[in-house]
Structures are given as structure tokens and as C-alpha cells.
A and B are shown apart, each in its own frame.
Chain A
Amino acid sequence: DIQMTQFPSSVSASVGDRVTITCRASQGLNNWLAWYQQKPGKAPKLLIYETSILQSGVPSRFSGSGSGTDFTLTISSLEPEDVATYYCQQANSFLLTFGPGTKVDI
């Protein structure tokens, strides 16, 4: 199975800061990597799929990049409503796995 790691596990930043979260896979993903945002007590929300494609309705301050085994989610200018936990998810095989999550607060 493909293992996923994320770092940092938590980050505290100020409004307007640039925040970058890294996700690393145990093997290459052929760009089958998605990112989700989850707020406390809520279901996850899809932000980005196929490494860099922004889901409809997601603000453009979110972006994704990467290739092979290393991927990043960037929030270009942190807003108060971005306080949440962010998960990466690989889909290079039918057996899917999520990263452990990165908690972002202000």
C-alpha cells in the first residue's frame, strides 16, 4: 500500500501569510493527488484534484503543485476562514490513502 506523510503537522500563521503544506508519498502517484479541507465537526471539502486542478467554487488563493512523490498545497494569503485541517489523498491505485493531516490556525 502507498503510505502518505504530511508536514508540518500543524502551523500557526497570521492573516495574509503564505502557507505551504507538503505531502510525500512512498511511491510515485502519476499526479493522482487530491487535497481536502476539514473544519471541526464538518465533512471534508475537496479543494484540489489531480495535483493542481482547483475544484469549482474554491478560492484562487489555494493552489497545488508537485510531481512524482512530492506535492504541495499553498494558501497564498491566509484568511480567517481557512482555519482547518488539511489532508492529502493519493489515488494511484484502487486502495486509497490519506495523509495524517496538517492543522492550520491563526
Chain B
Amino acid sequence: EVQLVESGGGLVQPGGSLRLSCAASEFPFSAYWMTWVRQAPGKGLEWVANIKGDGSENYFVDSVKGRFTISRDNAKNSLYLQMNSLRDEDTAVYYCARGYCPSSGCYFRAFDLWGQGTMVTVSS
């Protein structure tokens, strides 16, 4: 089955670190841009970070620059989000999602496959 499964969420104190993982199945993972999107409780969606299929490019929302790192291991069909110096406002469900690939190529511009999400709670 084509799917994404996130893991690694949990409760962490402010200033702490957490590493999220996203396991991809049944599609050519290395061809796709991948992204992390988060959603604070009761709030809307916020894009967090993107990474190109070969890992050569990545981009972040300003609020996490310098604190979060996005990476991937194409041999393991896995995406990661390393989160350091966590703040209360990072509390959210974190989704990984796949960039879409129409016939013209693969892009970061929309996301056609999403995981179920993993909850990160930053609290003392």
C-alpha cells in the first residue's frame, strides 16, 4: 500500500529536542519532494520544511530556521525532522507529506499523499 507513517512524537520540555521520522512505502521515494506540515491544536495548517528528492535543497519557515533540520535517507525510504530548542509554540500534530508528480515532473508545490500525523507536545 502506498503510504506514509510518522513516528517519534511525544512530550518534551521547552528547550529540549525530538526527532520525527516518516516511513514511506510502495512508491519511488527518491523521486519525490517531501515536506513537513504542522497543525497546532484547534488551529490551521502551517508548512514547516521541504526537501528535494535527492536531498540537495531544503527550505524552512522562518519560525524554525536554525532550530529544525530536515533530512532523508533514500536507501531507507525515510524522512526525518530534527527539532532542537523546542518552544511551547511548536506544540502541534506534525504531518509528513509527498510532493506531487504530474506527467511534467515532480514538484514541491502541492502534496498528494499525507501521513496520519504524530503529536508533539512541548510543556514543562
Contact = CB atoms under 8 A, between A and B. Distances in A.
A11 interface: no
B45 A91 contact: no
Interface stretch (B20-28, B79-87, B107-115): B107-115
A80 to B, nearest CB: 23
A43 B116 contact: yes
A100 interface: yes
Interface string A40-66: 000111100110010100000000000
A71 interface: no
Interface residues of B, number: 25
Interface in A61-85: 85
A100 B43 CA distance: 8
Contacts of A45: 114
A97 interface: yes
- Interface size class of chain A, counting residues whose CB lies under 8 Å from the partner chain: 20 to 34
Nearest to B117: A43
Contacts of B61: 95
A91 B109 contact: yes
Contacts of B111: 34, 44, 46
A98 B114 contact: no
Contact of A101 (B44, B47, B102, B110): B44
Nearest to A44: B114
Interface of A: 1, 32, 34, 36, 38, 43-46, 49-50, 53, 55, 85, 87, 89, 91, 94-101
A-B pairs, top 10 by smallest CB distance, nearest first, are A91-B109, A43-B114, A49-B110, A34-B110, A96-B47, A94-B59, A98-B45, A101-B44, A46-B112, A100-B44
